[in-house]
Amino acid sequence: MKLMSGRRYKKDLSDIVGILNEQKRIEKPLDYNKIDRAVRDLYDSWNGISVYTTEVLKAALESENLEELFEEQVREEEASRQEVLRIQKYDKTKITGSNIDDIINMALNKKTKVKKNSE
């Protein structure tokens, strides 16, 4: 269900990494085939799962250090959450489920460019 939600400004993606890490810790790791079967059983296909969420999942499945990836994901989610809150407060852009990833990407890219220019 976290895959389907895949909200970059909530704890969905860090939860995915955390679940994979916990399963690995208890020596019952999840692999792509198990996750694929669950997604298909629950949702019939991967169509409702965002490309970004799928990329995070694949990175986590390939990662040697899930704790580090988890911390990185937590930081990114917090930055995304802050941008969503800022936009809601100061910008006239209407945030919807269909445009939120684009808005987060634009805001974070703008923030990265400003940071690089100030260095």
CA dist 116 → 3, 27, 79, 113 (Å):
32, 42, 17, 5
pLDDT digits (tens, 9 = 90+) for 13-27: 999 999 999 999 999
Over the stretch 33-80, which tens digit does the pLDDT of each residue have? 999 999 999 999 999 999 999 999 999 999 999 999 999 999 999 988
74's CB contacts (< 8 A; 6+ apart) are: 11, 14
Q: Per the confidence metrics, is the pTM higher than 0.75? A: yes
Tell whether the model's pLDDT for residue 115 goes beyond 60.
Answer: no
